A and B are shown apart, each in its own frame.
Chain A
């Protein structure tokens, strides 16, 4: 769908400003100016849609905001809009994602490229508003792409990249841009915004392969699939997720050209000669970097592998990045009661057959803080790690 032209007020001042993660993402949405944003408010996502709504009310974006009666309806509206040919977005957290989840699976199977701004928050119960990754883990197998941001800058940058990732003809999947609730979404820090026209020309136009409203070329969407075709269709969806790794290289390469900020699906931080490493998602990676620098000053060979792409999971490059490491600690901000925590399970698969000790730590559930001391302790414990060990809980009162 072609973007409507609009006389915009003077463009936002380009350059570095103090913004929360929510505000940074809202600016990205304003600059992208999607056709449709279907939402239902929920903490800690609410500031995103509030700010987007203000931009629209002020005439600084032309997005049609659909205030749905629930997240299930919001996601459903986004699916219809995306398949009709509208660039479509939503934003959610926690219970909202849980209520959406049925439709997230459907969006992925119908290949609706919906960009989802997610502010991660613990799932009930007990009810809690603070950060952990249990909501994203609920969507782990949905077929939606999941990209985790370390800070507000990454949240903004990934949001700008998201439409091109989602809408690439080889992908056409929902893309979740995840930022830690409150820790990022409500924390102000320096964010460098691109110029509005730079974002607009970077994202380009959305071309839907089978427009729902093209009466000259009518199509059936969402048909029943029996055992004779369901399996093939799910397998086809897997290809789309696999394709994202290549698409990421192109999109991230172009983005680096515009912004000067290159991104991989994972980030290796001081891993080159490391014998111990921590693997983690989201904002905690920044805290770990500080501890790595501190321990490096005292001669310890420690490093960090930050996971940016949780789905698709860059298994091979992660394994290559950790090939020289003797022991690895995987920090999960979610539980899988009765089984290994989600990131640990994937790391164990990624590192299968490699001579590396693997330690599992769970931290930060329901917004529990993870201090620098906890991370120092993890690196200390890694010195003596052998094989696999039972899960440990950081910051828990034993």
Chain B
């Protein structure tokens, strides 16, 4: 049995690509499973999806805790999520990134096989809007299975009903681009030894929880939701700001920074998830959404920042 964990952000197609992958492997004669795991249901929030494939019927419904393969669809997740949790050194880590294998290895500390594919660039080159299918193509090559023709058939089965013929052709081209971008390899199922402390590490026992699930207020600042932004961030034209602080009132993530004199000074881009509520709340039009600057996106900043 091969188990795959896909890491993506809401809207990047982690769940879709897991279903595409399952359709392709079913075509290849395997028994398959594809299932998502939802957290906060918002675009940009970290999400996981999973695949299982085997030569016999798959009956287990337990979580995938020690995958053979981990795929990361967004490089900023490397700084936000423990992507190699449970991944055996004998397994494969495939990352959509412009960075080198050694740079990724340094970021995540994984000693096994790492494959990097510049999925965003290849997707744009193929005319596609998402890198997920590029990465699927690269994964098929890196694992040696399924054949690219079967993966493309899986795309037709999984997406044919949703996409126009032109968009489907773009998707197929993106799969081919990913397939051609990495060197061939094989998948060797790893021995699964789930960590004893696995999913409960650092979590409180029930006796230690506050009555009524009450938690301290003001914890928004501890959750770095800056990685949730998908392409746009708010920017301010201070000349037009009248310091009404409505943006501060409406911001759900404490990302509006005030001076000690309670004067608007700007945004904390580690916290801003790009929801644009501040743009709506601003009565003078001082705030507008502008194209993302990679340097301001957590996890994408150069190392050592």
Contacts and interface: CB of A to CB of B under 8 A. Distances in A.
B206 A236 contact: yes
Residue of B200, B205, B209, B211 with most partner-chain A CB within 10 A? B211
A235 B209 CA distance: 10
A229 B214 contact: no
A172 B212 CA distance: 9
B204 A210 contact: no
Residue of B200, B212, B217 with most partner-chain A CB within 10 A? B212
Residue of B39, B200, B203, B217 with most partner-chain A CB within 10 A? B217
B213 A109 contact: yes
Interface in A71-121: 83, 109-112
Nearest to A224: B40
B250 to A, nearest CB: 18
**Dominant SS among interface residues on chain A:** loop
B213 A233 contact: yes
Contacts of B216: 218-220
A141 interface: no
Contacts of B200: 228
A233 B206 contact: yes
Nearest to B38: A226
Contacts, number: 62
A29 B219 CA distance: 40
B207 A219 contact: no
Contacts of A109: 212-213
Contacts of A239: 207
Interface in A283-323: none
B9 to A, nearest CB: 17
Given A218-B218, A219-B215, A220-B215, A229 B199 contact: no
Interface in A209-262: 209-210, 218-226, 228-229, 231-233, 235-236, 239-240
A232 B215 contact: no
Contact of A223 (B204, B205, B206, B215): B215
A221 B199 contact: no
Contacts of A223: 213, 215
B210 interface: yes
Interface in A322-375: none
Contacts of B206: 231-233, 235-236
Contact of B214 (A219, A224, A235): A219
A142 to B, nearest CB: 15
Contacts of B218: 218
A225 B203 contact: no
A239 B206 CA distance: 10
Contact of A210 (B39, B203, B205, B212): B212
A226 B63 CA distance: 14
A225 B200 CA distance: 15
Closest 5 interchain pairs by CB?
A111-B212, A218-B217, A232-B206, A235-B206, A210-B214
Given A172-B211, A220-B215, A220-B219, 4 more contacts: A172-B212, A221-B214, A222-B213, A236-B207
29 contacts: A109-B212, A110-B212, A111-B211, A172-B212, A209-B211, A209-B212, A209-B214, A210-B210, A210-B211, A218-B218, A219-B217, A220-B214, A220-B215, A220-B216, A220-B219, A221-B212, A222-B213, A223-B213, A224-B40, A226-B39, A228-B199, A228-B200, A228-B203, A229-B203, A232-B203, A232-B205, A233-B206, A233-B213, A236-B207
